[in-house]
Amino acid sequence: MMSTGRRKRLGAVSNEQPSQPASAYPPSMAPHPGVDTGQIKEKARKDLLDLLEGVRGKKNLVIEKSLAGPIGLFVKFSTLQDHGIDKVFFLENDNVDASQKNVIFLARGEKAAQPIAIAEQIKRLQKNSNIEHDFSVIWVPRRTLVCNKILEDAGVLGDVGVEEFSLHFIPLEQDLMSLCLDESFKDLYLRKDSTCIFLAAKALMPIQQAHGLFPRIIGKGDNARRLMELLLRMRTEQAADDSNTSNIGMLPSASIERLIIIDREIDFATVLLTQLTYEGLIDEMFGVKYNQAEIDSSIVGPAPGAQQSGKSVGTPQQQGLKRKIQLDSSDKLYEQLRDANGAIVDSLLNKVARRLQNDMKSRNAESISELRDFVGKLPGYQSEQQSLKIHINLTEEIMKNTQGDIFRRSLEVQQNLYDGSDPSYQHDTIEELISRDVPLTAVLRLLCLESCISGGLRQKDLDNFKRLILHAYGYQHLLTLNALEKMGLLSTRASANVLMNPLGVGGATAEGTKTNYNYLRKVLRLVVEEVNEQNPNDIAYVYSGYAPLTVRLVQSLIQKQHLLTITKGASAASNGVGSAAQGWQGFEDALRNIKGEIFNEVQKGDESAVKARHMLAGTGGKVKTVVVMFLGGITFTEIAALRFMARQEERRRRILICTTDVINGSQIMDAAIETRDFGKG
């Protein structure tokens, strides 16, 4: 498709034997023995429909926009219609009509904007409608004092029925669950609002109640520690409440190995890099939200049934029309492609096209049984052909972008920065991009990446770039730059020694205050010189030579011996740290050079009960689940790297990925960018 490989390593293939078979990207793991994501989705569906059924007769539903996508993952509009919903309105549009007596509002209850909007719309309907409406409000995931107070002050609290819909984790795939909190990154790091930490704890607690305590809670980062402490406190509160206490919930789980919590703040650099897996590239260029991407019909063609006779893809009539493309494991071809490095997707598509062509030749069957077999497979062939057509068109569009000069120049700067080159040599390129009026997000990503990797920019360089940005993009971005500094994404370099101190001692950074990539690059082997993108043998394939720090940390817990071998050599791996070693042993020096606190908490139940269960259940052979929680967001590229690890570990353990949201570098820049124009009006 395109050459996303590293400049110095284009076409480089490792001499090591690949740890994966030729088909390096098989479908996702099977359902987890401990945590059934399908069951979680079904429970959410049932709970919502029960709440809607609680309001008799026909009703209109007013839903917050940010909830429409997540709820669409487990219930269809046709199902809502079957349960009495007549029309659906978005809360933000303020256009609910009086066509039905019953009106149900479905919104998040954590912020003031939603209850204010609900109160205003209730008062408008009461004033303008001839019907005496029955109003209901369903708060997601909980009712708060803020909601009650705002509705009470507006004088409508007594006119509404109030319910809670405890919607927490929403399964995106069998191995991936998200809280779908769109603003969790902005809340946590810009507004310093820790609500999402509380919601993450509330989401993890039902897993403990259903499957037993996480035997070990381990992680890195200040916010991660707060989440751990909240879980321990909630466990204590649960134990004090006899009505909620169960034998299962108070014993360490037999099906879950541990909970790993990663704070996004420890590794901002990874999320700022351009994603280079197929799914990551689609997300970078079109945006993937709730397993869907909106793509121009001129690229992928109109939706089935909407193709006009005589019109081909790309005709002017289709320009500007958007088509929603489903991007999940229901598309078996996409399931094979999504975690592959973008550089090899075209070859994978060619193989599929040739196989389909050969399969279609079998329609010239010689016997009735052969013909019957072909007819039975025909719907599958047609579905796969349609999917193949979509992904070929997507790949061609991605190729146009990745072969462009701006994409290549930006990627070159990124690779030079994480390689450890002198960042000042990249400034001419960044200044050129500003002069070419590239989108502000692209420029800010490069500056923030340099700041994160190099421990900040020199004061005179930062001042120069601030001046260039304000002149080129507008003076309202004084607020943008201030927001980036507040989030810790953009800063001045404390000392000139930061770049020159690769040992992680002395003048680099105070322990735990900044992540020292210059030291970690070597000790955790973040940069892999020779990467095999076709048959990868290291997680670094997802960035064509760079291993995400967050996933390396997970690897240091799950694949300790392997990581010790590739970072310190086989002899070092065999000395001192055994394969059964728990916790962070063997990587203490690296952890001291990563921002945030370290914790390793063991949860124990009643010893006699634990022994009795072990005697009854035995100890051998069970594949356990490792729950990995990303607080502040995770990228599709990191998800691909974790899935790569999961395939290697599938005989020993399974990995369940949980997150507050799926994010990318442009989204975290958008969280900081000031959209108001103070120079006009």
- What count of other Cβ atoms lies within 10 Å of the Cβ of residue 369? 9
Return the pLDDT at 49.
97
Q: Tell me if residue 368 falls in helix, strand or coil.
A: helix
DSSP one-letter string for 67-118: HHHHHHTT--HHHHHHTTEEEEEEGGGT---SS-SEEEEEEESSSSHHHHHH
Domain check: are 327 and 417 in the same one?
Answer: no
278-300 b/e (C-beta count within 10 Å ≥ 16 → b): bbbbbbbbbebbbbbbebebbbb
pLDDT the model gives residue 156: 95
Beta bridge partners, 637, equal none
Question: Are 398 and 416 in the same domain?
Answer: no
Q: Is residue 238 part of a domain?
A: no
Cα end-to-end distance, the chain, whole Å: 47
Residue 617 pLDDT? 54
Assess if residue 480 is contained within a domain: yes
- Residue 532 in any domain: the answer is no
User: Could you tell me if residue 134 is inside a domain?
Assistant: yes
Q: Residues 6 or more apart from 260 whose CB is under 8 A from it?
A: 218, 219, 554, 557, 626, 627, 628, 629
**Ramachandran category for residue 657: left, alpha or beta (phi over 0 → left; psi -120 to 50 → alpha):** beta
Residues 6+ apart with CB under 8 A from 511: 592, 593
- Spell out the residues 6+ positions from residue 226 whose beta carbon is closer than 8 angstroms to its own: 194, 197
Do 150 and 71 lie in a common domain? Answer: yes
**Residue 409 resides in a domain:** yes
Q: Is residue 397 in some structural domain?
A: yes
**468, 431 in Cβ contact below 8 A?**
yes
Boundary residue ending a domain (137, 167, 197): 167
Rounded Cα distance between 262 and 268, Å, is 12
57 vs 44, 48, 90, 161, CA distance in Å?
22, 16, 21, 15
The two three-digit tokens of residue 296, written as one number: 């121009």
Residue 674 Cα to chain centre, angstroms = 24
Query: In this structure, are 112 and 41 located in the same domain?
Result: yes
- CATH code (residue 323): 3.90.830.10
Count of the separate structural domains present in the chain: 3
Please report the pLDDT score of residue 364 as a whole number.
56
For residues 381 and 394, membership in a common domain is answered with yes
Mean pLDDT by runs of 10 across the 681 residues of the chain is 47 37 42 77 96 95 96 95 95 94 95 96 94 96 94 95 96 97 96 96 95 96 97 90 58 94 97 97 96 93 62 47 93 95 94 82 58 58 87 95 95 96 95 96 98 96 97 96 97 67 46 86 94 92 96 96 87 57 89 96 75 55 90 98 96 95 97 82 43
Same domain as 425, residue 317 = no
**Residue 634 token pair:** 């995770």
Determine if the pTM surpasses 0.85.
Answer: yes
| Contacts (Cβ under 8 Å, ≥6 apart) of 356 | 381, 384, 385, 388
Q: Do 394 and 474 lie in a common domain?
A: no
Could you give the CA distance from residue 622 to residue 383 in angstroms, rounded to a whole number? 37
Query: Do 346 and 358 share a domain, yes or no?
Result: yes
Are 420 and 395 in the same domain?
Answer: no
User: 353 with 409, same domain?
Assistant: no
CATH of the domain at 144: 3.40.50.2060
Q: Are residues 330 and 445 in the same domain?
A: no
Residue 573 resides in a domain: no
Q: Are residues 473 and 396 in the same domain?
A: no
Among 121, 140, 167, the domain boundary falls at: 167
Helix axes 636-649, 278-285, angle to 10 degrees: 170
Per DSSP, the three-state class of 369 is: helix
Where does a domain end: 143, 167, 191?
167
The H-assigned helical ranges of 361-502 are 368-402, 405-419, 427-435, 440-454, 459-473, 477-487, 497-500
8 Å CB contact between 217 and 228: yes
**Both tokens of residue 235?**
């466990």
| Beta-carbon contacts of residue 91 (< 8 Å; ≥ 6 apart) | 62, 63, 64, 65, 105, 107, 114, 117, 118, 121
Predicted local distance difference test score (pLDDT) of residue 367: 57
Alpha carbon distances (Å) from 40 to 202, 238, 368: 14, 21, 45
CA–CA gap between residue 43 and residue 38 (Å, rounded): 9
Distance CA 327, CA 391 (A): 10
Strand order in the sheet with 59-63: 85-90, 59-63, 102-108, 134-140, 160-164
Query: How far apart, in whole angstroms, are the C-alpha atoms of residue 183 and residue 671?
Result: 8
Q: Which domain holds residue 138?
A: 37-167
Q: Which CATH number fits the domain that encloses residue 422?
A: 1.25.40.850
Distance separating alpha carbons of residues 58 and 104, to the nearest angstrom? 11
504 contacts: CB under 8 Å, gap ≥ 6? 516, 519, 520, 523, 589, 592, 593
The answer to whether position 50 is within a domain reads yes
Q: β-strand 598-602 against 216-220: which pairing, if any?
A: antiparallel
